[in-house]
Amino acid sequence: MNRLHIGHLADIEEKGARTFMVEDTEIAVFKLSDGSLHAVENRCPHKGGKLSEGMVCGTSVHCPLHDWKIDLRNGKVHEPDDGCLNTYKTEIDGASGEIYITIAG
């Protein structure tokens, strides 16, 4: 497992996202209104839309292409649609506000 530093808590606006590449995978880290962070593959399982460009509502993001709703906590697509995407563990260093994600490897 690889623990990667990806930025600072202040780098991501509430209900916003920040993206970065890990090898061939683009990952989006979302900051919810409760301050929690959730990292997911930045690709809708339907048609590959960039989730980082979607609207965050509660704990879900709406794909900007076809409005599929995806739970940021577990990567599951809401019914009636079906699918799932990769999620990644996030950590915040409480003292510094630095953000880390863990990539299985």
DSSP codes, 19-70: EEEETTEEEEEEE-TTS-EEEEESS-TTT---GGGSEEETTEEE-TTT--EE
Total-model pTM? 0.90
Please give the distance of CA 96 from its chain centroid, rounded to a whole number: 21
The half-sphere exposure of 79 on its side-chain side, counting CA atoms within 13 A, is: 0
How many structural domains comprise the chain?
Answer: 1
Q: Copy the structure tokens of residue 61.
A: 């993001």
Taking the C-alpha atoms of residue 4 and residue 25, their distance in angstroms, rounded to an integer, is 14
Please give the distance of CA 92 from its chain centroid, rounded to a whole number: 14
Q: Tokens 């808590």 sit at which residue?
A: 9
pLDDT at 81: 94
The CATH number of residue 82's host domain is: 2.102.10.10
Range of the structural domain that residue 70 is part of: 2-103
pLDDT at 30: 96
Regions of the chain with pLDDT less than 50: none
